[in-house]
Structures are given as C-alpha cells and as structure tokens.
C-alpha cells in the first residue's frame, strides 16, 4: 500500500484535493470554517467547524458530487502572497485562521491559495487547475478536537484520498477493504487471541490461543539469540526514582511513567529496559577481552499513553520490548552492527517480511558529543549496511540526541510499511552511569553501547503478523496446529484420542471437536478458525490406522498413515 506522503506527485495532488473538498463543503455548508488540511500517509483530511450541523457518512457522497462539479469547471489554482495585515483583513471573520496568523513568525511569508470563490491560507504547492483532480474518494468522517486539545471545540474531520488514475484509485480502495478484513482487533476477537477491557484500557489480556502464539514467538526469539551469543536476563518491573534520575527519564519522560511509594521512597514502573541492562553490565568488572557483551531481555514495560491514542495491540500501555544491549569497543561497532543487520534479515525473512533501512543522522542542535564522533559513528552504521549488501536511505537530522540509528521499515503482504526494528548507538547512558571496561593497558575505558530491538514490541509485532497473515498463521505459529474431527463419537473417538495423545507427546498443539454437529459444519468451523490441519476420522481411518487431513483454504483431502502425518507436520513446523 503506497505512502501518499512520501510520493511527491501524489502528495501535491492529495493536498489540492483537500482544498477541492473544502470548497465543496463550503458550498453545501456556507457557514463552515476550516482549520488545517494536511496530507497524511493514507491521503488527506480537513478539520471543519460546521456549527450545529453534523456531517454524517451518508453526506460524503453529496460532497463528492459537488467536488466533481467543481473539478469540471476547471478553475486555476492561484497562489497569492499576502502581508499580515492583508491576511488579517481577508480572514477577519474566521477565528481559526486568525489563530494561525497570530502564531506566525514576524517576517514569515504568508501565502494563500484561491480557486474560484474559495481561498485558504496554505504554504502549497498545488496542481495548476482543479481539472487535474478527478479520481478521489472520501473515506470517513470523525470528530477531532481543535489543535488536538480535549479542552477545545470538537470539529469534524473528513478523510479522503486522491490518485492520478481511476485504476490506481480502485486498486487502493480494494487494498483498504482487504485491510479492514485483516484488522487485528477484529481477528483477535474472532480467533480468541487477546482481549481488551474497560477495567484496564491499554493493558491487553492474552487468551489461551494468543498465549500459544506468543510463546511460539518467544521461544523462536530465545533460540535465535542464544545461537548469536546473547546472555538472557530479566530485570525488575519497579526501580527507585534515583535510577530514573540518573538515566534522564525522570526529567524527560516523567509524565509517561507510572509511580508508587515503597518504604517512603518513590519508585517507578520501568518505561524502558535500558537502565536495568546497564546495572547488569555494571555488576561485574569487564576486560577488553570480554567484549562484546550481548545482554538480551524480553522486558515488560509500561508507558502512560493518551486514551485517544490507544489502538488494539498497536498502541498499548503495557508491552514487551525485545530489547538487547551490546557493550563493545569502538573498533567493534561496525562488525557488531553488520551482525545485527544479518540477524534482522534472517528473522524477518521467516515471516515473509521484506524491509528497507533508514539511517538517521546527527540533529542540527541539542546533541551530545563532537561532530567528529558523530561522523565516525554514522560512517560505521553506513559501512555495516554496505557489508551486508543492503541499501539504506539517509534521514538527515533525525538521530536521537545521543547518537545515530538505523530504523527497519517492514513491508507486509498488503504492501503496508511498519516501523519495527531499530539499532541505536548511545554515548549518553554509558556516560551517565559511568560504566567502563579495562583495556590492554590496564586503563578504564568507556564502552560503546548499542540499543537494539528486533520486533520492537512483541504486542505490536503480533498485531502486524495477524494482519500480515490475515489470521492464517503458518503451522509453527498457529495457536492450534491440528484439529481432530471424529465423524461419530461412539465409533471413532477412541482412535481420535489416541492420535491426540501422540501429537501432544510430539509437542504439537492439537484440539478435538467432538460436538454433536454434522461433520460438514465442524469442517467449516475449522476453516473459519484458520487451523492449518483439519483431520477427519471415520471408519476407513480407524480400520487402516490412517488420517485424512485437509489444509486450511484447500478442498483437497489427503489420506496418509498416522506416522507419516506426524513426520510431515513436524517437518512443516521445523521448516517454519
């Protein structure tokens, strides 16, 4: 799915379409006033104040018709530069534009764009004429507070999207429909994976099937990291306020942290695993010969997110970060990052997720360290990408204040982009916590520290996988891998129980559907639940000690000896 904001032509087209929509709204609701209408990844939106009127979903078609009428008129879109006095005069009856003007810097160029009778403050650019805006769709309408502040007035926000051709628009709308079907909140509920409750907004409950999926993912993570020489740890959920002051979180992240008092001391539930990982490193002396030291943790963290930002597993208040911290010598940075990139590529390929890398470099201001140190660090990250034959895009000035980073953008089966993995070089926390190793001369030296998360958040990654696979997980991840259906319980259930016991001994996740329902109904239910293997046991299977299985989304039935089936599914799981 295309990112409209990152495509220069589509970005201009969508912003122009936002103005076209605003003009149409103004014709239908003459009293309408407008806040802002930016381009976003999915298209555009405009925040609108229509007074006591309410724009409903069914009104969007009426607005679209007016937009098409305006487009056919073919008016030019004209850029006008204004003095602040002229702008105040034109928009004197519009409090939203007055607010914009009040917040502009003195001497800032003020521009507006006009098409026909409609004019609005805007930096642009736009297409030349409204005639170029032909293939659009208004998608939905929702509420949005002015400036995103709940103490301000609620406005109406209309979302839309625009393309250069009807074919591109149709394809995009098809993908949006497909994305709706794959919504992880919907599938998570239908497949019994997780639940959310008003008793804990933003705190997901893992249900038995979701827990089976999660454990399979965790076990995979543990095995792969042990192969790579990581030492696995677990750090406490709550730590003293003094630790968070040292790390800098107390001053910079306090409003997002949950706190409590223990023995008259203030404690905070950890919002990040890093300080705990540093304390583990600091608990022993280290020689240059010991480095790199790789410490991994699946650590549960808590962050206070705004209630309006919560979104299924994608945005929660408690989540598990698959963190690791690598402490190494300066001369090891490039090799260690190269190993990480290789590991990330290996892991992502298992899920069929392609990726691109962005290298975020030194901010223009408020960074620590010298320019020379930054240049050297950025070069090391770039060289690591090149060692792996991986292209990267430079994201100038977007590094953290403490160091440059590599961000991994994953592309799922619908072509959507997800920010997941990250590798960050940190010179701040080693300094704050005064950590060191002993070099070959017996001197104390500050190690380099790499923060890295591969999934990012286990919860969010599961949400991505639910949508990526549309709930039809590969066998190794599936909560239930085999569903056994006896045709008649009184005749076939004993053999089914025998198969179930054998599969459990082989650590295969199995269920038995022995409800007194017709076999066709139970088969359909098994398909609806997206179980990889459904086995039907009847007279022939009992007599011959065979199984007849059907793969998810297939109508073909295959009969094989029981031991052959066990070998087959074990191989399927092993090969992921």
Six-digit token string for 358: 């962005």
Q: Please, are residues 247 and 274 in contact by the beta-carbon 8 Å criterion? A: yes
Q: Is the pLDDT of residue 210 over 70?
A: yes
Backbone phi, psi, residue 551, to 5°: -80, 150
The separation between CA 95 and the C-alpha centre of its own chain, rounded to angstroms, equals 36
CA 142 to CA 311: how far, in whole Å? Answer: 16
Average the pLDDT over 139-157 and give the result: 89
- Rounded Cα gap, residues 294 and 231, in angstroms: 6
Residue 63 has pLDDT above 90, yes or no: yes
In the prediction, which pLDDT does 428 show? 86
Residue 88, C-beta contacts closer than 8 angstroms, at least 6 positions apart:
98, 101
> pLDDT tens digits, residue range 271-322?
999 999 999 999 999 999 999 999 999 999 999 998 888 899 999 999 999 9
* Residue 69 clears pLDDT 90, i.e. is over it: yes
In this predicted structure, the answer to whether residue 7 has a pLDDT above a threshold of 80 is: yes
The 10s digit of each residue's pLDDT in 426-482 is 888 999 999 999 999 999 999 999 999 999 999 999 999 999 999 999 999 999 999
**Domain boundaries in the chain?**
4-176, 188-235+271-467, 237-269, 482-575
pTM of the predicted model, to two decimals? 0.85
Residues forming beta bridges with residue 145, ordered by sequence position: 154
Model confidence at 270, in pLDDT bands (50, 70, 90)? very high
For strands 318-328 and 293-302, give the pairing: antiparallel
**Has domain 188-235+271-467 been given CATH number 3.30.930.10?**
yes
Q: Angle at Cα 482 formed by Cα 476 and Cα 488, nearest 5°?
A: 180
3-class secondary structure, 240: strand
Residue 83 CA to residue 125 CA, distance in Å, equals 19
The CATH class that applies to domain 4-176 reads alpha beta
Q: What is the largest CA-CA distance in the chain?
A: 93
Give the catalytic positions in this structure: 274, 303, 321, 323, 325, 405, 451
Taking 70 as the threshold, does the pLDDT of residue 89 lie above it? yes
Q: Is the pLDDT of residue 515 over 80?
A: yes
Q: Identify the CATH class of 482-575.
A: alpha beta
What DSSP string describes 263-329?
TTEEEEE-S-SHHHHHHHHHTS--BTTT--EEEEEEEEEE----GGG-BTTTB-SEEEEEEEEEEE-
| Percent above pLDDT 70 for the chain | 100
Contacts of 247 (CB under 8 A, 6+ apart): 272, 274, 275, 429, 432, 433
What are 371-426's pLDDT values in tens digits? Answer: 888 898 899 999 999 989 999 999 999 888 888 999 999 998 888 889 899 999 98
């Amino acid at each position: 799915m295309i990112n409209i904001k990152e495509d220069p032509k589509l970005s201009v087209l969508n912003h122009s379409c936002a103005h076209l929509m605003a003009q149409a709204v103004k014709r239908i609701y003459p009293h309408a006033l407008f806040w802002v209408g930016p381009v976003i990844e999915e298209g555009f939106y405009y925040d609108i104040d229509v007074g006591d009127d309410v724009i409903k979903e069914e009104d969007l078609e009426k607005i679209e018709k007016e937009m098409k009428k305006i487009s056919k008129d073919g008016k030019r879109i004209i850029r006008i530069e204004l003095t602040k006095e002229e702008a105040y005069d034109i928009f004197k009856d519009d409090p939203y534009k007055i607010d914009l003007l009040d917040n502009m810097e003195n001497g800032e160029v003020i521009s507006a764009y006009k098409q026909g009778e409609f004019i609005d403050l805007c930096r642009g650019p736009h297409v030349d004429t409204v005639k170029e805006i032909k293939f659009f769709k208004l998608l939905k309408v929702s509420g949005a507070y002015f400036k995103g502040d709940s103490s301000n007035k609620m406005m109406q926000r209309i979302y839309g999207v625009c393309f250069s051709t009807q074919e591109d628009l149709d394809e995009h709308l098809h993908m949006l429909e497909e994305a709706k079907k794959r919504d992880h909140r919907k599938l998570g509920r239908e497949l019994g994976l997780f639940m959310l409750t008003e008793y804990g907004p933003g705190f997901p409950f893992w249900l038995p099937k979701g827990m089976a999926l999660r454990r399979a993912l965790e076990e995979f993570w543990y095995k792969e990291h042990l192969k790579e020489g990581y030492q696995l740890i677990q750090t406490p959920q709550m730590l003293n306020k003094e630790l968070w002051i040292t790390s800098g979180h107390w001053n910079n992240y306090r409003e997002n942290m949950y706190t409590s008092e223990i023995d008259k001391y203030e404690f905070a539930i950890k919002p990040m695993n890093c300080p705990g990982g540093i304390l583990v490193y600091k608990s022993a002396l280290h020689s240059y010969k010991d480095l790199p030291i790789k410490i991994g943790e699946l650590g549960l963290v808590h962050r206070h997110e705004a209630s309006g930002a919560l979104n299924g597993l994608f945005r929660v208040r408690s989540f598990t970060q698959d963190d690791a911290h690598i402490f190494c010598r300066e001369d090891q940075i490039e090799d260690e990052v190269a190993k990480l990139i290789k590991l990330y590529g290996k892991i992502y390929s298992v899920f069929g997720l392609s990726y691109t890398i962005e290298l975020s470099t030194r901010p223009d201001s408020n960074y620590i360290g010298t320019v020379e140190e930054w240049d050297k660090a950025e070069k090391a990250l770039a060289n690591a990408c090149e060692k792996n034959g991986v292209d990267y895009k430079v994201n100038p000035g977007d590094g953290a204040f403490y160091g440059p980073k590599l961000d991994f953008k994953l592309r799922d089966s619908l072509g959507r982009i997800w920010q997941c993995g990250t590798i960050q070089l940190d010179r701040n926390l080693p300094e704050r916590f005064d950590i060191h190793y002993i070099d070959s001369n017996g001197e104390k030296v500050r190690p380099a520290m790499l923060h890295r998360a591969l999934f990012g958040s286990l919860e969010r990654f599961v949400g991505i996988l639910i949508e990526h696979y549309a709930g039809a997980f590969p066998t190794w991840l599936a909560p239930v891998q085999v569903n056994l259906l006896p045709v008649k319980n009184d005749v076939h259930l004993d053999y089914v129980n025998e198969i179930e016991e054998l599969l459990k001994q082989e650590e295969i996740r199995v269920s038995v559907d022995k409800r007194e329902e017709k076999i066709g109904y139970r088969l359909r239910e098994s398909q609806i639940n997206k179980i990889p293997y459904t086995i039907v046991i009847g007279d022939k299977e009992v007599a011959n000690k065979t199984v007849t299985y059907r793969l998810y989304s297939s109508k073909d039935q295959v009969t094989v000896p029981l031991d052959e089936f066990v070998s087959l599914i074990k191989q399927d799981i092993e090969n992921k």
